[in-house]
Amino acid sequence: MSTYLFNLARWAFRHRRLVMSLWLLAAVVAISLAVASGGKTDNAFTVPGTESQQVANLLTRKLPALGGGQTQVVFATKGAATVTESPYRAGIEAAIGRLKTAPQVASVSDPFAEHAVSADGHVALSSVQYIVKATDVTDATFNAVKAAVVPAQEAGVQVEYSGSAYPGWRSTPSEVPELIGLLTAFVILMITFGAFVAAGLPILTAIIGIVITLMSVTALASVISIASASTTVALMLGLSCGIDYGLFILARHRNQLLTGMEVEDSVALAAGTAGSSVVFAALTVIIALCGLAVAGIPFLTVMGFAAAAAVGVALLIALTLLPAMLGFAGHKVAKFVSTPLRPGHHETVARIAAIEPERTFGASWARFVVRFRVPLLVGGVALLVVLALPALSLQLGLPSGSAKPTSDTQRRAYDLTTAGFGPGFNGPLLVVADGVSTPADAAPIAAALTKVPGVKSATQLATANQAAVIRVIPTTGPNDQATTDLVNRLRDDRTTIAGTSGAQILVGGTTASNIDVSAKLASALPVFLVVVIGLAFVLLTLAFRTILVPIKSIIGFLLSVSAALGATVAMFQWGWGRHLFGITPTETISFLPIILLAIIFGLSSDYEVFVVSRIKEDFTKTGEARGAVERGTGLAARVVTAAALIMFAIFVAFMFTNDPIIKAIGFGFAVGVFLDAFVVRLTLVPAVMAMVRAKLWYHPQWFTKYVPDPDIEGERLQHRLASNAPAQGRPAPADDASVPVTKTPDESA
């Protein structure tokens, strides 16, 4: 592999104008398609095969007027005023009349005619039913809805919205997190490289890659349903992986330049050595993300594929566009900035890292870890286990309006509805009696539903085409465990509820759908974990040609992801981050554990590959197991630290949003990356490898015969180049991994 990557990078270097033109053309085409298609992401979460989806499909066939999206309009007065007083009622009735004329609206309920006014008279509820599903309600319709309620607002009535689709539910993503992440990444790269060009190149190439990916995803959103969180996850990973992959190759290239290698030779060799690690790291991330498809949930599958595409584009750019850009940059990547307070400091640090790596802080840390390997191993594992303990209290669900900030209309509608009617009105259930001809036939079913514990009321909505729809209001909120128990109780007792009607009872609606999604995701977790770990085990075994390294990597991943999940539960479910992050404690987002498993596993494998490949490279040359751990970890520490801090910063930046889903995702990713990079890969991994020593690299004889060697560390490539260099009149490539070492008395191969 290293030879192929070497040749690819050399070709890209020599044809840099063509390579750059092709990538820029790809970006222009992607942007054009996105603009022309008008694609938009949505917040719909559906799971085929669940009972709630059966209800949605049945309503679409038999009662299409109830099968579309729905907006609950909340009218409220302040102080002693009530909605029934003349000026306020007149404004609300005028709004109801205008809502009925809005496009795509099938029906609008009148709160005064249907007794949907709170006991204290301060809140009135109106339901706007659309003729199309929630994701197909247009912005023009939402604008018409907002215009329709103006008479009520002019009369002094507060108007808020909630439901499956409502004005403002398609939130426009803020560019602030991306800007904060990019600025932080630039600062970290400036500290790492000490040169403007070297710091800017990985960011520039990552931006090009993420533009291509996001615009392509937007174009696809015009033909398939893509969740809004998909683009956010793709953006997070596209930026972080794009910068990191460029960082690993560029760091190797810059070190080689400082040892006197020619630019073209250095670019090609960096791609052939560090590029091999990048390929295996990226493939592991892609496998983990594509593994989300095993859950059998469309929105999660699309999310995984979108994020995998972002990582794939980042990989291709690192192997082609980056070498081309390095060709344009030439020696400018080693043109250091000089600060007035410490002139020449950046160049001195860079030359020490390239020529005397044993003097770096990373090397000192590696020696410290090897020396105190046992206490560090025990302490590190204990820390991760303690952080993971809250995960035992994990409760899955999708956030309701109560999890939104108070500035959000859905949150205000939730609070007003709860205060006026009770929490159950925020999460009504739709019970469908399939096989009922008339409202009279459905009446006994509605009466039976009112007698079920946990039901506040049951009201018939419509009967047509041999089906009746009954709205059931629980006594508890949509995210309460009691509501989940009620849904399960209704489904378990459906025969009793149907009585002698002969109808088939189905329970659906948005609340039931969220419960079904959470249950499906929880059941998919074990399968996903087995599949992804199995595939990654094969890939890492192929990369390092030993069984113990993948086992060690997987154990480390399980520790770090468990700790990240435990910290997320403590902050967002237990409410420890209530004031710090401005969130309302609620269940852990149902799809967070599975995507956290996928992404942290992929990224942990990134760091595993980068650290262990340098250790193996040194061990292959010297045969000194413990010394190789010290030198290899020291060489990898600086660049892994920079890469992890960049990812950490980008993930943290996404916590500064109003969306509780994105906040939780950003926090979980940030904690997982930080713990995995610094506690697991740069501490526990070298500690374990120093303890096991050469036994870690053992593999049976048949392994050498039947399993191909991808030469991930580029050893064969460097040997071939060193052999050919004198004949071609060029100096042999410098080896920044080989440094003089002193063997300790207790060291053995």
Q: How far is CA 517 from CA 49, 296, 298, 368, 630, in A?
A: 11, 11, 11, 47, 47
- Confidence label for 139 from pLDDT (cuts 50, 70 and 90): confident
Percent of the chain's residues with pLDDT above 90: 33
pLDDT at 137 over 70: yes
Mean pLDDT score across all residues of the chain = 84
pLDDT at 393 over 50: yes
> What mean pLDDT comes out for the span 85-101?
93
- Distance in angstroms (rounded) separating the CA atoms of residues 426 and 404: 14
Least confident range from 45-49, 65-69, 271-275, 347-351: namely: 45-49
Give 728 or 278, the one with higher predicted confidence.
Answer: 278
- pLDDT at residue 693, as a whole number: 80
Question: Tens of pLDDT along 140-169?
Answer: 999 999 999 999 999 999 999 998 888 877
Other CB atoms within 10 A of residue 100 CB: 14
Percent of the chain's residues with pLDDT above 70: 92
Beta pairing partners, 469: 432, 462
Give 296 or 725, the one with higher predicted confidence.
Answer: 296
Give 106 or 706, the one with higher predicted confidence.
Answer: 106
- Distance in angstroms (rounded) separating the CA atoms of residues 150 and 377: 65
Question: Is 497 in contact with 449 (CB distance < 8 Å)?
Answer: yes
Question: Is 606 in contact with 244 (CB distance < 8 Å)?
Answer: yes
Question: Tens of pLDDT along 630-677?
Answer: 888 888 888 889 888 988 988 888 787 777 778 888 899 899 999 999
Least confident range from 39-48, 195-204, 276-285: namely: 39-48
The two structure tokens encoding residue 583 = 């969130």
- pLDDT at residue 429, as a whole number: 92
Nearest 5°: phi and psi at 473? -100, 115
Question: Inter-axis angle of helices 592-622 and 685-692, to 10 degrees?
Answer: 40
